[in-house]
Amino acid sequence: MQVQQRNRRSFLRIALVSLAMFGFGYLLVPLYDVFCEITGLNGKTGRISEAEVAASYQPDLQRTVKVQFVANNSSDMPWDFRPEVRSMEVHPGQLYAASFVASNRTGRDMIGQAVPSVAPIKASRYFNKTECFCFDRQPLAAGETKQMPMRFIVDPRLPKQVETLTLAYTLFDVTQQTAAN
């Protein structure tokens, strides 16, 4: 009888540990997204409304920061993807707009998803996108070209030693993942 009780107790412990591990794994992605949103890690900068921006920042017209734009494709993405302008000088606290252009060179409809990153990493929390094509998946028909806008603001509290920010996007093919959902 004692062996049977020990086996049952061991089974329950293993089942509870397995359930806890599954729950932790299931929650890891949302927790990581929240952590990245708070810290600016992995280029996940704040998504705030333009009204909030206008109310919260006083533009620093005495200072300019160079913002560089970079576009990359993942190895399996056959689209042409580029920024309309490579860089711009901005005043922290003012709202700016930029655009990227994507062209689907294939003979089939595809869906792309852009993943942003900001460098230097310590400055990523000061770069806020109020509108961005990276917030949503981007469908493009075969041969279609699309202008993809984004609007952003650099927080005036950006450390003074940071004079250049680089906003880089990597474009991924998510056609298969979207079809599976």
For residue range 141-162, what is the model confidence (pLDDT) as tens digits? Answer: 999 999 999 999 999 999 999 9
Domain at 43-180, CATH homologous superfamily: Ctag/Cox11 (2.60.370.10)
Nearest to 65 by CA among 147, 169, 164: 164
pLDDT band at 17 (very low <50, low <70, confident <90, very high): confident
Mean pLDDT of the chain: 85
Residue 148 has, within 13 A of its CA and on its CB side, a CA count of 26
Q: Is the pLDDT of residue 35 over 80?
A: no
Give strand pairing partners of 147.
101
Give the pLDDT confidence score for residue 58 in this predicted structure: 85
For residue range 71-130, what is the model confidence (pLDDT) as tens digits? Answer: 999 988 999 999 999 999 999 999 999 999 999 999 999 999 999 999 998 888 899 888
Q: Is the pLDDT of residue 34 over 80?
A: no
Return d(Cα 65, Cα 90) in angstroms, integer: 5
Give the pLDDT confidence score for residue 119 in this predicted structure: 92
